[in-house]
A and B are shown apart, each in its own frame.
Chain A
């Protein structure tokens, strides 16, 4: 039950995209059509779900002062986390290419983009600052990925429709996407502060 609460909290209440505004670069760049947004969203769920527990193990068994080196190595956190993320993305890309070529064709181009998606690194850093345990961090990763997935699908759907509206030329495209995301963020703000364990 505790894990379900963390999942719901990270997906809706502390949504990585709309409450913390992480991963905005790819969020704005790849949300022109629902189809591509769907692919990127799935890839983000996948990579967040994998990297979160690995980074948790690194943080708690390698870098902590109780680890094999006996000293506090947390200053290496950033380098190790990003190396894990980059190599996991590369690995996932290779595995998907071998196992399921159709999935690779639909996800392929988005996977390298994910390395520099700050939602992934941000998620790992939040996991550290929130002091989750292993199963909680998996729930947090999957929930955060799911929330990001929902957000990018929603903005892509709105952007597909807004093409037919009469937007001032200078505001078309990017400018409108910013303002729409702001409005969506305001909507998500109303969820903030809800404690799912109290319901």
Chain B
């Protein structure tokens, strides 16, 4: 008994080896939450109209994901199987409330823009999915890293989609106008004709374009990594 305890301690130490690095890098490519696991699509569609919104959302999700993984992993042996969904949801909801109130205090305009979608992090399937698939059966430190890794994989896709949508939809990046009519930031875009030829495409700001962009991203990702192609 005593021996197994010592062993456990050694394994659960805060080491960072090959397996741990894999936890961080896998979700970026071959196990990406959005393009491969198809989790957390709703928020990915709604908040990607502006890069700044996508960035805040990515950070919020990463925070909730990492800490809910950590907490669930600590509690995993004392949660009864029948009510585990409710216990997990309460953990997630508490963390989301923390994020919501923090964001409200720190940056109210962004909070207003994200509106219900911060609350909807609770039902973001990435979080439930990772809790069920990973945190319920793994040690806290690794679960934490898994949360960070999946948060990164989610955030990267979110930001790629947001860059594409903001660039073509508003001719801007991160709020600075770089294309199309209008005067801003570095150069006077209305004076230099080759910068003002582009008329912002409103479709890119609307919901359906996010579907097209993610669909095309999946296409690119799968042609790149043919092992992901689904046969059905």
Q: A residues engaging B (CB < 8 A)?
A: 19-26, 28-29, 32, 75-79, 82-83, 86-87, 90, 112, 115-118, 120-122, 125-126, 129, 163, 168-179, 181-183, 185-186, 189
Which residues of chain B are within 8 angstroms of A78 by Cβ–Cβ distance?
Answer: 93, 96-97, 100, 119, 122
| A161 CB → nearest B CB, Å | 14
Q: Is the interface of B mostly helix, strand, loop or mixed?
A: helix
User: Is the pair B208, A87 in contact by a Cβ cutoff of 8 Å?
Assistant: no
Interface size class of B (residues with CB under 8 A): 35 or more
Which residues of chain B are within 8 angstroms of A32 by Cβ–Cβ distance?
Answer: 232
A24 to B210, CA, bound (A): 12
CB-contacts of B29-48 with A (<8 A)? 38-43, 45-46
A76 to B206, CA, bound (A): 32
Is residue B116 within 8 Å, beta carbon to beta carbon, of the partner chain?
A: yes
| A127 CB → nearest B CB, Å | 11
Which residues of chain A are within 8 angstroms of B38 by Cβ–Cβ distance?
Answer: 25, 28-29, 174
Given A19-B207, A172-B229: 18 more A-B contacts, CB < 8 Å: A21-B211, A22-B42, A75-B101, A79-B90, A83-B93, A87-B86, A90-B86, A115-B89, A115-B123, A118-B123, A122-B123, A170-B226, A172-B232, A174-B38, A174-B218, A175-B215, A176-B215, A178-B218
A24 to B117, CA, bound (A): 14
Which of B42, B85, B90, B222 meets A175, CB within 8 Å?
B222
Which residues of chain B are within 8 angstroms of A86 by Cβ–Cβ distance?
Answer: 85-86, 89
User: Is the pair B219, A183 in contact by a Cβ cutoff of 8 Å?
Assistant: no
User: Is the pair B125, A116 in contact by a Cβ cutoff of 8 Å?
Assistant: yes
